[in-house]
Amino acid sequence: MPSPHLKPPTPALLDTLTRVVGEAHTVRAGDAAQTKYLREWRDRYVGTSPMVLRPKTTSEVAHILKLCNEARVGVVPQSGNTGLVGGQIPHEDGSEIVLSLDRMTAIRNVDADGFALTAEAGVTLSAVQQAAETAGLMFPLSMASEGSACLGGNLATNAGGIAVLAHGNARSLALGLEAVLADGRVLSGLSSLKKDNTGYDLRDLFIGSEGTLGVITAATVRLVPQPRDVAAALIVLPSMDALVPLFRLAQQHAGPNLTAFEFISARAMEFLLKHGTAPSSIPESSAPCSVLMQVSTAEADRAEPLIEALLSEAISAALAIDVRLAISATQRSAFWRMREQMSEVQKFEGGSIKHDVSLPVARIPEFLAEAATVVERVCPGARPVPFGHLGDGNVHYNVSQPPGMDKAQFLDLWEPLSAEIHTLVTDLGGSISAEHGIGRMKREELRRLKDPVALDLMRAIKTAFDPNGILNPGKVL
C-alpha cells in the first residue's frame, strides 16, 4: 500500500493539474476512459485513481511532479501498460495520480552515422524499430508486446525479450536518458556517447527502477546494422538433458551469430497446437521439448549453411530427433508468431500462475525437474508450462490449473506456489525476476530473498532520489 505519509489530492490540486495538461488530456474518476489505465491485461491488478494525466512535454511532466511532491501526493508513471507485475497500476484506495506518457510519442532524432536514435517515452517499441529500419539499421529489442509496449516502460523495467542473447537487455541498448525527478528537476542526459567516464552512472539507476526514482521521458538508444542473412530452425530434442549440450554446440558453431535460442516445453507446444496458430510444418511430437534457434550474419548467404552444419552435427550427436528449417522469410516469421503465442494460448486452459525467473543455463534442466515436483506437491494435477529464452537463462515457468479445478481456488495458490518456486530458484543461484521486474507482485519476495545489504543500499538510493516517497509508492520496496 502507499505510504501513510502521502495524502490524496485535494480538489484544488486536481484543478491545478488539469490546467497543466489541458482538460482534453485529463481523465477524471468515473470516466469510462480511465479503464485502460487502471487494469493490467491479466486482471490481477485493478486500481482506482482520482485522475489520469496525459502530458505532452517533459516540462509538463516536471510541473506535475513538482506540484505532487509539494502536496505529498503519490504518482504512478505509466506508458504502454503492458507490465506483468502490477508496477504500472495504482493502488485500490484511489489516492494516487496516474501519469500516462502515451502522448509523448516523438522520435526526436535518428543519427545513422552514430548508430543512435532518440525517442520519447511513449513511443512504441515497434515504432522505434520502424524508425531504425527506415535509416537502414536495426533496434534489436524485440518481444511479443512490441506493438503496444513503449520505450519508457521497457527501460523502466529493463525489459529483455528474444534477442538478449546477442544484443543484451534494455540497459545494454541505452546510451542516454532524460528523466524527471520527484521534485520536478530534469536530468538531461540524452548523450549518444559510447564512452563517458565522468562519475557515477546515473543512467543505469533509472533503468530497471520501475518509476520509483524518476520518470523517464526520453532516451537515446543504440542501433545496430541489419543482418544480411537470417536463418531459423525448429529442433525437436530427445530429452531436457539435451538442452544445454545443444546450446553449447550452437555457440561453438555460430558464436556471436547465434541471435536466439528459445526452448518450448512439450505442454507449451501442446497448448499451441490446440488453441493457437502454428505452421503446418511443425512436427507433432511427444518429445519433452523443442528449440527455436535463429542465426544472423553480416555476410549474405552465410546463415543457412551455418545453421545446416550445426543441425547436422546435432543430429549426429543425438541432440536432435527432428528439425524443421525455415526456407523463407515467411516461414521464419511463422515460427516466431508461434513463439509469441505461448502466453496467450494458456488462457484457454483456465487459471495460470506465472513465474519470470532466471538461472545459470547449466542448471535449467535441474530446475525444471525439481520445480515439477514442487508444483505437484503444492497443487496435485497442476500442469507446468515452461518455455523461455534459454540462451540467457530466462525461464517463463507458468503453471496451468488442473483440468476441472475451480479457477479462483487455483489462483489462491499463487503466493504459496510462487514462494516455493522462488526459493528453489534462489537455492540454484538464480533470480526471481528476469525481465518483468518486481512491481507489487514480488515486493515481499524481494524482501525475503534479496541480500539485506543490497536492500539497504536500494532504500538509501530511493530516499536520496525521492525523499517524500511520491514516485510509484508501494512498488519494488
Instruction: Check which CATH number belongs to the domain holding 377 and give it.
Output: 3.30.70.2740
- Domain contains 54: no
My answer on whether 260 and 335 are in the same domain is yes
My answer on whether 262 and 236 are in the same domain is yes
Give mean pLDDT, residues 358-381.
97
- Domain contains 41: no
- Domain contains 442: no
* CA angle in degrees (0–180, nearest 5) for 109-111-113: 170
My answer on whether 192 and 116 are in the same domain is yes
My answer on whether 113 and 221 are in the same domain is yes
**Under 8 Å CB-to-CB from 441, ≥6 apart: which residues?**
44, 45, 84, 85, 86
User: Residue 281 belongs to a domain with what CATH number?
Assistant: 3.30.70.2190
Whole-number Å distance between alpha carbons of 286 and 276 = 18
My answer on whether 180 and 238 are in the same domain is no
Asked which of 203, 225, 247 is the last residue of a domain, the reply is 225
pLDDT tens-digit readout, 73-114: 999 999 999 998 999 999 999 999 999 999 999 999 999 999
- Whether residue 163 contacts residue 259, with contact meaning beta carbons closer than 8 Å, is answered with yes
Q: Would you state the pLDDT for residue 287?
A: 81
My answer on whether 233 and 213 are in the same domain is no
- Domain contains 393: yes
- Domain contains 423: yes
Whole-number Å distance between alpha carbons of 96 and 475 = 13
pLDDT tens-digit readout, 38-76: 998 878 899 999 999 999 999 999 999 999 999 999 999
Asked which of 170, 193, 225 is the last residue of a domain, the reply is 225
Q: Are strands 51-53 and 97-100 parallel, antiparallel or unpaired?
A: parallel
* Residue of 216, 156, 155 whose CA lies nearest to 188: 216
pLDDT tens-digit readout, 156-209: 999 998 889 999 999 999 999 999 999 999 999 999 988 889 999 999 999 999
My answer on whether 384 and 363 are in the same domain is yes
* Residue of 437, 368, 449 whose CA lies nearest to 155: 437
Helix axes of 364-378 and 243-254: crossing angle, nearest 10 degrees:
150
- Where residue 334 falls (left for φ over 0; alpha for ψ -120 to 50; beta otherwise) is alpha
- Whether residue 469 contacts residue 5, with contact meaning beta carbons closer than 8 Å, is answered with yes
Q: In this structure, what is the dihedral angle of CA atoms 109, 65, 124, 200, given to the nearest 10 degrees?
A: 60
- Where residue 301 falls (left for φ over 0; alpha for ψ -120 to 50; beta otherwise) is left
pLDDT tens-digit readout, 126-156: 999 999 999 999 999 998 889 999 999 999 9
pLDDT tens-digit readout, 434-471: 999 999 999 999 999 999 999 999 999 999 999 999 99
Q: Would you state the pLDDT for residue 48?
A: 96
Whole-number Å distance between alpha carbons of 346 and 406 = 16
- Domain contains 214: yes
Q: Would you state the pLDDT for residue 282?
A: 73
My answer on whether 134 and 181 are in the same domain is yes
- Domain contains 303: yes
My answer on whether 233 and 144 are in the same domain is no
**Under 8 Å CB-to-CB from 96, ≥6 apart: which residues?**
2, 47, 49, 73, 74, 75, 76, 90, 473
Number of domains in the chain: 3
Whole-number Å distance between alpha carbons of 94 and 69 = 17
The DSSP secondary structure of 56-125, one letter per residue, reads: SSHHHHHHHHHHHHHHT--EEEESS---SSSTTS--TTS--EEEE-TT---EEEEETTTTEEEEETTSBH
pLDDT tens-digit readout, 372-424: 999 999 999 999 999 999 999 999 999 999 999 999 999 999 999 999 999 99
Q: Would you state the pLDDT for residue 11?
A: 97
- Domain contains 374: yes
Asked which of 340, 369, 396 is the last residue of a domain, the reply is 340
Whole-number Å distance between alpha carbons of 133 and 441 = 36
Phi, psi of 302 (to 5 degrees): -115, -30
pLDDT tens-digit readout, 259-318: 999 999 999 999 998 998 877 667 666 788 999 999 999 999 999 999 999 999 999 999
Residue-range definition of the domain harbouring residue 169: 107-225
My answer on whether 275 and 335 are in the same domain is yes
My answer on whether 111 and 216 are in the same domain is yes
Q: Would you state the pLDDT for residue 2?
A: 59
My answer on whether 220 and 234 are in the same domain is no
User: Residue 149 belongs to a domain with what CATH number?
Assistant: 3.30.465.10
